Structure 1
Amino acid sequence: MIEWLAIPALALGAALVPKGKLSDEKKIRKIFENCKVGIKEGEHFLYPKLIRKHTNDTYTTYIYSTPLGVQSKDFESVTSVLRDGLNKDVEIEFKGVLKINVFEQSLPQSWKYDDSLLNLNTWEIPIGKNHTGVLYHDFEKYPHMLVGGVTRFGKTVFIKESFYTLLMNQMDNAEFYFLDLKGGLEFGKYASLSQVKAVASDVFEAAELLNDIVVDLKKHQKEFRARGYTNIVDTQITKRTFIVVDEGAELSPNIIAGEGKPYAKFCQAALSEIARIGGGLGLRLIYCTQYPTKEAVPMQVKMNIVARLSFIAAAQIASMVILDEPGAEDLPSVPGRAIYKVEKNRTVQVPYIDDKYISIKMEERANDIIQASENRKFVNDDRPIEYGENTTPTTNS
């Protein structure tokens, strides 16, 4: 049986390690012992055993064999203890063996967005910077994303960064529907853009918007069947439609009272349908909430979203809703710090972007388009006339 000390003792595991007096290898061993991470056999514990380590310029990887019966979840709670005990950033992987990466440099406390992060003509967005470089998310590979975390730690900034990146990368092919359920205050300002098809600011507008999207989805299904298509990525269709939900809890029938309840129920059903079958038809769902509970995140939505991004969570249960595992509750209180999960967890610092930057860059792009149009007009108006066999120059009599 796997045996752990009580939570207070686990929290003290790092405190029991004398900092600066032991090597990282010995500190890790000490933390395993203090936290009783292992298997009890009789009166003894079998702990993970170091089998090799590798060091490069930025981090050291420690690889441990583990006693039979130890599972990956058995090491989840010790990550924060290792981080505190080593006073360094730590990542843990468990696939048959336990791999602990210990980084010499911490992630930046902040990181500003700039246009060098754009990958033009792709559907990739920069998720964040980790210890090995910049991580990108490709919406062609993983069409939907679930985003959570407490307020004012980066969710809305991430949505704006995603919106701006996708817009600039695919100006002619991206279109957006925003369910800005904070009264339309964040994204209503972009409603005049041709790529922004609609902005809903409450549950009633959201239901109307989603109804239109689902009707179009059904039409696209028929068209795909008629043409023998199964997935839009295998066709010549270039258009992609992003449905962005900012504060999904406002669409929960268990949270909303009164006349909004049936509208909320419809919204959750529509979003579930989009998550289930929309990806192959070109729909991309970004579903965000600061209240990650089973009421706020419909099960069908969650089950059909592979990619997850969690900023700091208020409690372990919130991390479980977004990531299906604990960890987000232990993130440092740094705006923009998050865990990105596809096939595994990666801690990243999400780039910061603000409305001023977006406005300036959008104005520059608009001016470039106007200038290009004027240049084409100038060329068309002033090019010399070429006479051919079917043209006759006119002369004054």
Structure 2
Amino acid sequence: MLLEIVSSAVMGSVALYAHLRKAGVSNDSEKLNKIFSLTGLNVRDKDKTYTAQLVKKVSHSWGTEYRYRIPLGRSFEDYQAKLPHIQDGLNNRKTAMQFTWADIMALDRARPLIPQIKELLQKKKSAQKEVELSYDGLLKVKVYNTPMPTLVSYEGITHLDGWSVPVGQIREGNTIVQHDFEQVPHMVVGGATRYGKSNFLNMVITTLLAQQPENVRFTLIDLKGGVEFAGYCDIRQVAHYAEEPEEAEAALLAVVEEMRAKQQTFKQRGVKNVQEAKDPIRHFVIVDEVGELNPDEAVTKEERALKERCQTYMSQIARLGAGLGYRQILATQYPTGDVIPRQCKQNSDAKLCFRVQTTTASRVVLDETGAETLPEIRGRAIYQTADKRQIVQTPFIEPQTIRQSVKPHVVIKPRKEHDDADRNSEANRATRTDTAQLGQIRFFE
């Protein structure tokens, strides 16, 4: 009797699967081929049509990876531009209701089938597949069965040490990718406003403070009027702080002079870098909104010359600073043209780009397209190094966590005034004091 019941259940499941197939529910592989065709990705030459050829299909716990040989006349960017169409096509109602043989075999034969099928239908309705594209000679289409989480909490991340900071959670295994500034010293960060750039910079500072309070030094240049970094300006680890281009020039020059002095010290000692010198200090130069130092946007010759000097100093830090213990992070929310100095980009093997509006903006940060197709989700970004490109959900750090990390390090320290008469004026000193106080209120009250 039991065998008969089980057999009936299995046959019923097989009948359901066959019915759905007959009704026109296709698998993802067939769906992808159809999408490629309908979106104009096939190539027609006289009376022949060339399509992407499926070379390999690999199943994973998280979904499926398809590898295609693309037709002559098509580029990876052609497919990348169609990513929204591909993802939407795989998530239309017919596809979302698709059953696989694994779904059928997972049904519990000892339980009534109808409630299980209804539950499965509900899961299928709520599931949203996500797609990633990459290219290494073959087009790789990764289809994920479940979406990446839209919120990852910084407070839940553990096992951080040294000079590593969390970058974000990836889909494969839901693991947290870390960036080690000891291995890759410089980074470029870009993205449109409100998508997570400032949160990431705050997370980096907070993490380094927590892990290396005695060894980390900061030069913080906040060219958004102090709205991001004012709360850090009176901690003992901050060597230089600036909010205006004139102050940025003085801070960057001071870093370059310190860097040159350390270079001479290393030369006299006969050592080549901080590791060989056993120097534990790492100095992070973080510039938020580096676009404000773009000479092309200067109004006067004097302003242009000042910004050119700033870019020269940043380029020197990028070229020479790594072995001397200096790390540079340049961030911008307006990635257009030459907003990031060329030598800084060339020497920054790590790039993090949140959603941007155009392919041009994506290329400015990543040298590739893709960031313009990211979903409109705060914290979603592309993390790219010399050998890897990953989509991540960057952790969100609570303001309370920042306050707790910063407060123990606040000291009352005298300000170094510059020789420039304008910056020595009482009015400008009062403005900087007010800004710093506003930052303290935001962080500590």
The alignment's TM-score, normalised by the length of structure 2, stands at: 0.73
Contact 2:284–2:326 under 8 Å retained in 1: yes
Q: Are 1:291 and 2:337 matched, yes or no? A: no
Which of these residues, 183, 198, 219, is aligned with residue 177 of structure 1? 219
- State the distance in 1 between where 2:303 and 2:158 align: 41
Task: Name the CA distance, whole Å, in 2 between partners of 1:84 and 1:151.
Answer: 26
Residue 266 of structure 2: aligned partner: 224
- Matched residues in 1 for 2:331 and 2:346: separation? 15
The amino acid of 1:306's aligned partner reads: D
Is 2:292 the partner of 1:250? yes
Letter in 2 for 1:152: R
Residue 89 (1) aligns with residue 130 (2): yes
> Does 2:327 match 1:327?
no
Q: Residue 351 and residue 253 in structure 1: after superposition, are their counterparts in 2 closer, same or farther (change >3 A)? A: same
Does 2:84 match 1:80?
yes
Contact in 1 for aligned 2:43/2:73 (Cα 8 Å)? yes
Q: CA-to-partner distance for each residue in 1:91-120, whole Å, 9 max, x for gaps?
A: 222222222111011111222211634512
Q: Is the 8 A contact 1:118 1:125 kept in 2?
A: no
Does residue 35 of the first structure (1) align with residue 44 of the second (2)? no
Mapped pair 1:210 → 2:214? no
Offset at residue 362 of structure 1 (A): 4.2
Secondary structure at 1:163 match in 2: helix
Which residues in structure 2 correspond to 1:102-141 (within 5 Å)?
Answer: 102-114=143-155, 116-117=157-158, 119-120=160-161, 122-132=162-172, 133-141=175-183
Structure 1 distance, partners of 2:280, 2:263, is: 16
User: Does 1:190 find its partner at 2:232?
Assistant: yes
Q: Is the 8 A contact 1:118 1:169 kept in 2?
A: no
Q: Against the structure 1 CA distance between its residues 228 and 156, is the aligned structure 2 distance closer, same or farther, given a 3 Å change threshold?
A: same
- Percent identity, aligned pairs only, is 37
* Higher fraction of helix: 2
What's the CA shift for 1:239? Answer: 0.9
TM superposition shift of 1:291: 1.0
Task: Tell whether the 8 Å contact from 1:127 to 1:137 is kept in structure 2 after alignment.
Answer: yes
User: Conserved in 2, the CA contact under 8 Å of 1:158 and 1:350?
Assistant: yes
Counterpart residue identity of residue 86, structure 1? L
Q: 1:232 to 1:39 in 2, by over 3 A?
A: farther
Distance 1:225 1:115 in 2: 44
Contact 1:118 1:165 in 2 (8 A): no
Kept after mapping to 2: 8 A contact 1:179/1:199: yes
CA distance in 1, matches of 2:255, 2:181: 19
Q: Tell me, in whole angstroms, the C-alpha distance in 2 between the residues paired with 1:298 and 1:312.
A: 21
**Post-superposition shift, 1:70?**
5.2
Deviations 1:221-264 (A, max 9, x none): 22233334334344422111100000011111221324533221
The residue aligned with 2:11 is: none
Are 1:311 and 2:315 matched, yes or no? no
Question: Partner of 1:114: helix, strand, or coil?
Answer: helix
TM-superposed CA distance for 1:268, in Å, is: 0.9
1:349 alignment counterpart? 393
The partner residue of 1:200 within 238, 242, 245 is: 242
Q: Deviation per CA, 1:199-239: give whole Å up to 9, x if none.
A: 10100111111111111111122223333433434442211
Shift of 1:39: 4.5
CA, structure 1 residues 22+277, in 2 after alignment: closer, same or farther (shift >3 Å)? same
Give the CA deviation at 1:71.
4.5
C-alpha spacing 1:242/1:101, structure 2 compared with 1 (3 Å): same
Q: Shift of residue 159 of structure 1?
A: 0.2
Counterpart of 2:402 in structure 1: which amino acid? I
Q: How far did residue 320 of structure 1 move? A: 0.9
Contact 1:204 1:260 in 2 (8 A): no
SS in 2 for 1:215: helix
Please state if 1:98 is matched with 2:167.
Answer: no
SS in 2 for 1:63: strand
Aligned-pair CA distance for 1:137: 0.9
How big is each residue's C-alpha offset from its partner over 1:34-93, in whole Å with a ceiling of 9 and x where there is no partner?
233355443222222223222222121112234466544443223333222223211222
How many residue pairs are counted as aligned between the two chains? 346
207-216 or 347-356: bigger deviation: 347-356
Counterpart Cα distance in 1 of 2:89 and 2:268:
61
The aligned amino acid for 2:146 is Q
Unaligned residue ranges in structure 1 (runs of 5+) = 1-19, 367-397
- 1:290-325 Cα shifts (integer Å, max 9, x gaps): 111223211121122111111111211101100111
| Aligned 1:147-162 pairs, distance under 5 A | 147-162=189-204
- Secondary structure of residue in 2 paired with 1:198: strand
Spell out, residue by residue over 1:129-188, the C-alpha distance to the aligned partner (whole angstroms, 9 max, x if none): 110211111111111110111111111110000111111111211111100111122212
Q: Which amino acid aligns with 2:226?
A: G
User: 1:313 is matched by which residue type in structure 2?
Assistant: V
In 1, the alpha carbon distance for the partners of 2:58 and 2:338 equals 45
Amino acid at match of 1:100: V
Aligned-partner Cα distance in 2 for 1:361–1:226: 38
Q: Distance in 2 between matches of 1:287 and 1:54?
A: 38
User: 52, 55, 59: which one pairs with 1:48?
Assistant: 52
Farther off after superposition, 274-283 or 199-208:
274-283
The secondary structure found in structure 2 opposite 1:100 is strand
TM-score (norm 1): 0.82
